[in-house]
Structure 1
Amino acid sequence: MFRPQIQKTKTLFFIACLSMVSVYLVSQSNTYIEKDGIDDKIRATEIMQSYINSIKKSNLVSINDEDLYQTGLIGVESSNITTVYNEGSKNFLNSKISCTHPNFSALVVHLFKEAEISSGDTVAVSMTGSLPGANLALMAACEALDISPVILSSIGSSSWGANREDFTWLDMESYLYREKLIKDKSLAVSIGGENDLGENLTDKGIEIIEENIISNNFDLVNESSLKENIDSKMNMYKRKLPIENYSAFINIGGGSSSIGYGAAKDSMKVGVLFPIEIDDIIEDNKYFSSSLAYNFMNKGVTFINIKNINILGKDWGLYPPDKSIDINNGKLFYETENYNLNVIIFTLLLNLGLITFIGIYSHQQIKRRMKNEEYDSVL
């Protein structure tokens, strides 16, 4: 029995399968929209990658097995200059690793834009040796956006940070400065650790840090108490610029002088914090009122807290660290919307084209069949 192509079971089955595949492809498709500031973010990642590449080529440090991204920025579990020791803590190590991905500099750019910091602005920075990746990310973001950082550092570091005795945060910073990869370096340096005076370090550890500061030609901030260290650092910031004229105060790590003494600082909010939030912060951490961050917020300066990376980095796909995280890709760079118009148009045209082709072909089959039947009837 004659049946045109369009009526054949296998043809109808093929059309149905193609339609189902098309629906699936459309349902799984996405549109990627570039986020504001993507060019600045890409520029920052390129700069941070140049820092990492230079450090790796310097032969100043060996890369250990825990360094997932092979950056040279991951230290050791324990040393004489380790201020906080977390034995076997995977989350602790992962936080350090997450900061070493170049995309972390894009996160800093994002925080800058959220805080409405723009080209030509000056920011006050207080960083420790605990998160060297975040320190470099901050410097890369400042370079990409033409922002001037006024930096004070502390050398002590928690586990897996810049806690190698022969390659401290100061060694990293000094090397990059000598290589002319960074334009700004720390104005002065404190020991860090408990009360910013290294009170939880051994005499040997303090001696190593002090020698490191001297060998790198930095001024040492080492007063008789935490309060006096804070006052000394505030005066250094003031000598550069009136406090209220800074566009933000940025903390990296858990320095006592930066965000206060005690365990409560470990549960503080992270990211961009505005002066209006100061009372809420003190309610959660009473020691915050004795910190650099408080002094800045009290003058109406925005506070950016780069700490608790498991929280800060998670929403942006940077935590936990994973080798599959691509540079210049992800939530920081693109907004994802369901369905892709190009996929919809392609599958629609494919289905319409197939059906049209089968329809025309079947019509021609029917015409030929009718002609043959007319010819047979004449005979």
Structure 2
Amino acid sequence: MGLLAAALAVLTAAVGFVSVSGNARQTACYALQLDARARMERCMEAVRGYREELGLPLSPEDFHKTGLIGEEYTDITTTLGSIEAKRTAADPDMAALLVRMFSEAGLRSGDRVGAGFSGSFPSLNLAVLCACDAMGLEAVYISSVGASTYGANSPELTFPDMAHRLFLDGLISHDSALVTPGGDRDNGGGVFDEEAFVPILKRVESWGIPVMREEDYQKNLSSRLDVYGADGIDCFVAAGGNITSMGLGDSALSLGQGLLHHTVSPDRLSKTSGLVEWYLAQGIPVINLLNVRKIAADYSMPFDPMARSAPGDSPVYWTTEYPRGPIALALGIALLLLVAARKGRTEFADIKTTGDGK
């Protein structure tokens, strides 16, 4: 038992030493992260200007004056949302986070990203687009009009409106490929005030962007896959809780948040599966952006902070490298001690057996 205790003590000491000996280093994509953050800051400034032009005051809940926090309730509000999560997501460092996620997914310049955007987190939508532009990725995205509380729920400035104006102003490289109502079954049924909803779709159609209001769930999914293209995509991003991304049931929620590293067996797919499950079953990387609290925790980002980090200061720009030598030495010593302990037990057992034989 003494040797076993010694082995444990060696490992414990090594872990303690290494835990305080890590060296923080910039991520390999640090410069791209700063570029994406700067792009998102320009987008946020522009959106604030759009709100001013339309006579839409900043929300009193928008502590950081981002322009990306909506009202508590409007005629196009779909579900309840957390104001703390909305404020956390409305941070230009989210664009830096998406660069890191795309890099971790192995994406390179020229790759295609397919995205499904609800209006609930306009900040996350813009973070995805700014990260794509910074990395030279082609973004093909479908936008929804409806939004949860404090999202892009102003009928005069929905997320498709924001994206279209930002595209025209040259601040993002791609406009929406398709716009849908969002909400219940992605067709707006039973959720919206029709008088507020119809003019929005007509406005979108006037830009030359197709609008889809498809009640059949499978046809809706099929149409979305057609938009993403016959050549397919290299990564799928689900931002917000659009039903076609998450599916009709709760199965996609169990798959996790952020970059999903695992795949899904094709046998798991059903008529209620959404695009998150579908793309994972094809072996395509998926980034799921819905539970902001968990995503922030996973990357050591503060949740609903009163102050924002300076560019490049957030943990999302840094990784920690630990010295390998002490761990290797400790493992070697511990292994020798365990071998010695096992040998000692074997010899003791032999002596005991011999003594019993007498």
Shared fold (TM-score, shorter chain, > 0.5): yes
Aligned equivalents of 2:195, 2:188: Cα separation in 1 = 11
Aligned equivalents of 2:72, 2:159: Cα separation in 1 = 16
SS in 2 for 1:219: coil
SS in 1 for 2:293: helix
Counterpart residue number, 1:352: none
2:162 pairs with one of 168, 172, 190: 172
Counterpart residue number, 1:129: 119
Partners of 1:41 and 1:106 within 8 A in 2: yes
Does the alignment pair 1:112 with 2:102?
Answer: yes
Counterpart residue number, 1:44: 36
Aligned equivalents of 2:67, 2:179: Cα separation in 1 = 22
CA pair 216-79 structure 1, distance change in 2 beyond 3 A: farther
Which residue identity is paired with 1:322? P
Shift of 1:211: 3.3
- Which stretches in structure 2 are left out of the alignment for 5+ residues? 1-19, 323-358
SS in 2 for 1:167: coil
Partners of 2:113 and 2:139 within 8 A in 1: yes
Does the alignment pair 1:328 with 2:307?
Answer: no
Partners of 1:309 and 1:319 within 8 A in 2: no
Aligned equivalents of 1:268, 1:255: Cα separation in 2 = 16
Counterpart residue number, 1:149: 139
Partners of 1:124 and 1:151 within 8 A in 2: yes
1:33 pairs with one of 25, 31, 37: 25
Partners of 1:190 and 1:197 within 8 A in 2: yes
Which residue identity is paired with 1:323? M
Shift of 1:297: 2.6
Shift of 1:177: 1.0
CA RMSD between the two structures? 2.7
**When the two structures are aligned, how many residues end up with a matched partner?**
300
Counterpart residue number, 1:291: 274
Does the alignment pair 1:253 with 2:240?
Answer: yes
Partners of 1:47 and 1:140 within 8 A in 2: yes
Partners of 2:186 and 2:243 within 8 A in 1: yes
Partners of 1:121 and 1:148 within 8 A in 2: yes
Does the alignment pair 1:80 with 2:75?
Answer: yes
Aligned equivalents of 2:162, 2:103: Cα separation in 1 = 27
Counterpart residue number, 1:362: none
Does the alignment pair 1:140 with 2:130?
Answer: yes
Shift of 1:265: 4.5
Partners of 2:145 and 2:159 within 8 A in 1: yes
Aligned equivalents of 1:263, 1:206: Cα separation in 2 = 28
Shift of 1:32: 4.1
SS in 1 for 2:78: coil
Counterpart residue number, 2:263: 277
Does the alignment pair 1:225 with 2:216?
Answer: yes
SS in 2 for 1:176: helix
Offset from partner CA, 1:213-265 (integer Å, 9 cap, x none): 33444211112312211111111222xx422xx21111111111112024555
CA pair 113-288 structure 1, distance change in 2 beyond 3 A: farther
Which residue identity is paired with 1:297? L
Shift of 1:267: 5.1
Does the alignment pair 1:307 with 2:293?
Answer: no
Normalising by the residue count of structure 2, what TM-score does the alignment of the two structures yield?
0.76
1:161 pairs with one of 151, 160, 173: 151
Partners of 1:170 and 1:216 within 8 A in 2: no
Partners of 1:259 and 1:288 within 8 A in 2: no
Partners of 1:83 and 1:201 within 8 A in 2: yes
CA pair 266-82 structure 1, distance change in 2 beyond 3 A: farther
Aligned equivalents of 1:288, 1:68: Cα separation in 2 = 42
Counterpart residue number, 2:66: 71
SS in 1 for 2:101: helix
Partners of 2:185 and 2:215 within 8 A in 1: no
Offset from partner CA, 1:110-134 (integer Å, 9 cap, x none): 1101110111111111111111000
Which residue identity is paired with 2:245? S
Aligned equivalents of 1:223, 1:33: Cα separation in 2 = 48
Shift of 1:172: 0.5
Shift of 1:153: 1.3
SS in 1 for 2:170: coil
Does the alignment pair 1:242 with 2:228?
Answer: no
Aligned equivalents of 1:228, 1:337: Cα separation in 2 = 48
Aligned equivalents of 1:175, 1:271: Cα separation in 2 = 28
Shift of 1:287: 6.5
Partners of 1:249 and 1:293 within 8 A in 2: yes
CA pair 120-66 structure 1, distance change in 2 beyond 3 A: same
Counterpart residue number, 1:201: 191
Counterpart residue number, 2:340: none
CA pair 335-233 structure 1, distance change in 2 beyond 3 A: closer
Partners of 1:94 and 1:319 within 8 A in 2: no
